[in-house]
Amino acid sequence: MSGIRIKNLRKSFGTYTALHGIDLQVPNGTLLALLGPSGCGKSTTLQLLAGFEAPTEGEIWADDVLLSSARGVLPPEKRGISLVFQNYAVWPHKTVAENVAFGLAIRRLPKAEIAERLDRTLRTVRLEALRDRYPSELSGGQQQRVALARALAVEPRILLLDEPLSNLDAHLREEMRFEIRQVHDLLGLTTVYVTHDQSEALVTADRIAVMKSGHLQQLGSPEDIFERPSNAFVATFIGANNELAGTSEGNGAIRVGSHVLTAPDRSGAAHGGTVSLCVRPSQVRLFGAEEKGLPAEGCNVLSGTVRRSAYLGEYRDVLVDLGGGRTLRAFIPPAQSFAPGSVVTALLPIGSCQILGPAA
């Protein structure tokens, strides 16, 4: 097992730059999720880590071993890094056992040890009963487990997972999330998990690296990412979010249209800089326009018109038109109800609001 250190990693394909200098540390034994929309550079990072691509600039280290730099790349087969592919890449001409034992045979281990490790790995992913099946006779989830077992059997020092659940149906996906986390807890492998699904990242990862257009936006624990996003992009990408664009009025204040709102300021922007006020819909409270004695203490107060309201059982999802092309989403208790067209007052607790800058 090794920790990973990525230093100023850049990758260009012709004139297109996929990665603009990424710095990233993955301590030994942690599970890092690389999270971002498609085209953010997360898969490129994974290909670089696995050794299938050479960086344009920068270095990748596994503990004190230099794996990749612009001057050379340790070939994939010499890295001790296992990779689980999005489409599983289980070899259709080999049985489950043959797939899993492939890496062990490559290492010329004694037969007895191969058999022992094969059995152990198959047990870990609960595939003992299917060992002589061919992949065409397995379900998607089972193939996924074969791919995982194959990667684990060789006892890699680093495990890479490339969108491993995106081809599974929703129900199975949820189950496999926990299974992957369980395997990680059992083996303690340094793992990099690429995904575009924020809830997958939140469930499985120790640390999350959010990426966009080849830049690292934030690296932190799931709580950091969700509660203290470093910019408006991260806030919007993770969970539901309201983003009210405006300009900075100095520390702790933002001008949104004619309103000046206050919130903890983490944008670092100068007076007049482009910033956004971010607040989760679950923190927004709505009241009828005629209601008196609102608990407005410590809140930003906005008013608007309800445009639509959807009943979702556990809460109501209400969209409020603030005028000037701005809208605000609020998740309110289902007992409360506003007809479209009714005028409402929205309270945004200052402590739940944040002033954030745009994406890096």
Partner 1 sequence: MGVISTDSPDSAAAATARPVMARVPLARTVVFGAVALLLFLLVVLPFGWVLNNSFHDDLTGAWTLGNYARIFQSADLLEPLFNSLLLAVATAVIAVGIGVPLAWLVSRTDLPFRRTIRVLTLTAFVTPSFIGATGWILLAAPNSGWLNALWRSLAGAEAGPLLNIYSMTGAIFICGIYTVPYSFTMVSSALDEMAVELEDAAATLGSGTLRTMLSITIPLVTPAVIASFILSFIQGLTLFGVPAFLLTPTGIPVVTTKLAEFYQLFPPEIYMAAAYCMPLLLVTAMLFWMRRRILGRKQFVTISGKSRAGRRIALGAARWPAFGAALLLPLVSVFLPYAALLLVSLTRAWGQGLSWENLSLHWYWWALFGNSETHTAIVNSLLFSTLAATMCVMLGTVVAYIVERRMVFGASLFGAVATVPIIIPGIVMSVGFFAAYTRAPLNLYGTPLLLVAAFAATFLPIAYAHGGSILKGIGPELERAARSLGAGEGRTFLSITIPLMGGGLLSGWFLVFIPIIRELSVAVFLITPKTNVMTTLIYNAKDGGNYEAVCAMSVLLLLITLALVAAAGPLTRLTTVRRTSRKSGRKTAPAEGVLPT
Q: Which residues bind partner 1 (CB under 8 A)?
A: 5, 50-52, 59, 61, 64-66, 68-69, 71-83, 85-87, 89, 91-95, 97-98, 101-103, 105-107, 111, 114-115, 118-119, 129-137, 147, 150-151, 154-155, 157, 160
What is the number of residues in the chain? 360
Residue 67: both structure tokens together: 């794996």
Does residue 8 contact residue 22 with C-beta atoms inside 8 Å? yes
CB-wise, 89 or 245, nearer to partner 1? Answer: 89
CB-wise, 58 or 357, nearer to partner 1? Answer: 58
Q: Are strands 242-248 and 285-288 parallel, antiparallel or unpaired?
A: unpaired
In the complex, the smallest distance separating the C-beta of residue 114 from partner 1, rounded to whole angstroms, is 6
In the complex, the smallest distance separating the C-beta of residue 128 from partner 1, rounded to whole angstroms, is 8
In the complex, the smallest distance separating the C-beta of residue 100 from partner 1, rounded to whole angstroms, is 10
Question: Over 79-94, what HEC string results?
Answer: CCEEEEECCECCCCCC
CB-wise, 69 or 303, nearer to partner 1? Answer: 69
Does residue 146 contact residue 138 with C-beta atoms inside 8 Å? yes
In the complex, the smallest distance separating the C-beta of residue 109 from partner 1, rounded to whole angstroms, is 10
Q: Are strands 57-62 and 4-13 parallel, antiparallel or unpaired?
A: antiparallel
In the complex, the smallest distance separating the C-beta of residue 127 from partner 1, rounded to whole angstroms, is 11
CB-wise, 56 or 247, nearer to partner 1? Answer: 56
Task: Give buried/exposed letters for 307-344 (b at 16+ CB in 10 A, else e).
Answer: eebeeeeebbebbbbbeeebebbbbbeeebebeeeeeb
Contacts 24+ apart (CB under 8 A), 224-229: 226/202, 228/266, 228/354, 229/278, 229/354, 229/356
Q: Phi/psi at 320 (nearest 5 deg)?
A: -110, 130
Distance of alpha carbon 4 from alpha carbon 59, whole angstroms:
11
Does residue 183 contact residue 125 with C-beta atoms inside 8 Å? yes
Does residue 226 contact residue 211 with C-beta atoms inside 8 Å? no
Please, is 33 exposed, middle or buried when counting C-beta atoms within 10 Å of its C-beta (0-12, 13-18, 19+)?
A: buried
In the complex, the smallest distance separating the C-beta of residue 159 from partner 1, rounded to whole angstroms, is 10
In the complex, the smallest distance separating the C-beta of residue 18 from partner 1, rounded to whole angstroms, is 17
CB-wise, 6 or 275, nearer to partner 1? Answer: 6
CB-wise, 124 or 241, nearer to partner 1? Answer: 124
Q: Phi/psi at 116 (nearest 5 deg)?
A: -65, -45
Q: For the chain, first and last CA: distance in Å? A: 32
CB-wise, 115 or 359, nearer to partner 1? Answer: 115
In the complex, the smallest distance separating the C-beta of residue 306 from partner 1, rounded to whole angstroms, is 47
Helix, strand, coil % in the chain, rounded to nearest 5? 30, 35, 35
CB-wise, 86 or 342, nearer to partner 1? Answer: 86
In the complex, the smallest distance separating the C-beta of residue 65 from partner 1, rounded to whole angstroms, is 5
CB-wise, 107 or 271, nearer to partner 1? Answer: 107
